[in-house]
Amino acid sequence: MAGSYQEIDPDGDLILILNRSLFVLKEAVRGARGEDSQPSRIDDLTATKSLDISGEPNISDESGLRGLALEVINEPTIEDSSTSKTASTSYRPSNGTILGSHTSAATADEETLCQEVRIRVSSKHLTLASPIFKTMLQPKFKEGLQLHSHGYAELPLPDDNPAALLILLNLIHGQFREVPRKIDLWMLTELAVLVDKYELLEITEMLLDYWLQHLRCTIPLVLNDDLLPWICISRVFRKPDIFEKVTKVAQLESEGLLEVSEWPIPEHVLKNIDLCRQTALAEIFAHLQSILERYQGSKRICRRGIECDGMVLGSLTIGLNAIGVLQPPDPPYNGFSVKGLFRNLKEMPVPHYCEISRGYKYGYEVGGRCDGVKRSLDAKIDEVEQQLQGLKSVDEPISLQALQLNHSANTLMA
């Protein structure tokens, strides 16, 4: 079977075996969806030089597989505008659902899909750097038993991105000159997946700021395909300022519980985001209902008379019905985003009889409350929106902010 071979440590006692099929399939799916594509760096890493992996590789060539692969990994991704778009999508994970529904579009041949990447490393370096590798290589597991019995072992890692793992392995083995100083967003996301999986945060800390330096300007201000990767990156690499910023966007713009299967984002983070969204919406729905109940009651609100109260009630009824919240929806308010609802409410006109008959001055100075309806609603919207400032802690099981919002909403609805 065709494959490729890398040596991080020529005297290493451990061979890592990776399977590139998942990543080739994702590339094929991306091409079928019409996205710009070029041969990925994974292709270059594993297919540029093939060999029969049943025997020992020939590495006598001075350039070698290692130099070629690292040259590919170090190619520019951001500075060259002509290549940035293509490079930035090379590692973009496909949505699991889309991947499943487009599998037939993959055009990679069977040999390519089965191709393996074999990397020789030092087990001692891996066990010192990663408690996960240390556990995996204990004698109670097959690979660990083989290593301790024969001084050599093979460890299959079929789910890991070969190019991302190569970067981490070079860091672990002190090959710092072989590590790129600039990477694109999707490679950083792939690195975050492996850092979280193998608990390798410490070895990446010295280069993390270099990697983030030119990517910070791409942090999304709206809900798009980059948001979940950034939540993953900021959580795994312990960047609370970025984490707070991107989770605030999610709180404001998500329309339900975010779902993710490809990146290590804990369920409690996604639930906290959605709890903040739900409680903010609940607080506004409760405020709207209190306004409607006041104008539907027998007590007169405006000194001008019942015709002004009726006009305000009619305006609210028509406006709220138009945006689908005259009857407040039930939790979890799927299909409603905080930002979308608040924008619609602020744009909703609430004319009143005082304003039409005597102008703004009469309705305000004579003491009628009809003009204050819109102002109080806008003020309440601003107040609730200010409470949504993103999650403060990357590890907090239930955020204090979510609990405070929930308590406020429950108090209003009681």
Chain segment 156-204, per-residue pLDDT in tens: 999 999 999 999 999 999 999 999 999 999 999 999 999 999 999 999 9
The pLDDT score that the predictor gives to residue 234 is 97
Chain segment 229-244, per-residue pLDDT in tens: 999 999 999 999 999 9
Sign of CA dihedral 162, 167, 169, 175: positive
* pLDDT > 90: percent of the chain: 57
Helix axes 267-296, 338-347, angle to 10 degrees: 20
The pLDDT score that the predictor gives to residue 150 is 95
Of 393, 347, 379, give the one whose Cα is nearest residue 283: 379
Provide the residue count of the chain: 414
Strand 153-156 and strand 14-19: the pairing is parallel
Separation CA 390–CA 245 (nearest Å): 6
Sign of CA dihedral 230, 233, 235, 240: negative
How far are the Cα atoms of 18, 74, 293, 295, 313 from residue 218, in angstroms, in the given order?
31, 20, 46, 47, 45
Beta-ladder partners of 156: 17
Of 94, 111, 83, give the one whose Cα is nearest residue 2: 111
Sequence ranges of the domains in the chain: 2-176, 268-413
- Looking up tokens 């819109």 gives 374
Of 279, 268, 277, give the one whose Cα is nearest residue 394: 268
Yes or no: say if 46 and 3 are a contact pair by the CB < 8 Å rule: yes
Q: Is the pTM of this model over 0.85?
A: no
Across the chain, mean pLDDT equals 77
How far are the Cα atoms of 122, 138, 304, 360 from residue 149, in angstroms, in the given order?
16, 11, 94, 89
Of 127, 132, 98, 114, give the one whose Cα is nearest residue 12: 127
Chain segment 38-65, per-residue pLDDT in tens: 333 444 443 333 333 333 333 333 333 3
The pLDDT score that the predictor gives to residue 286 is 96
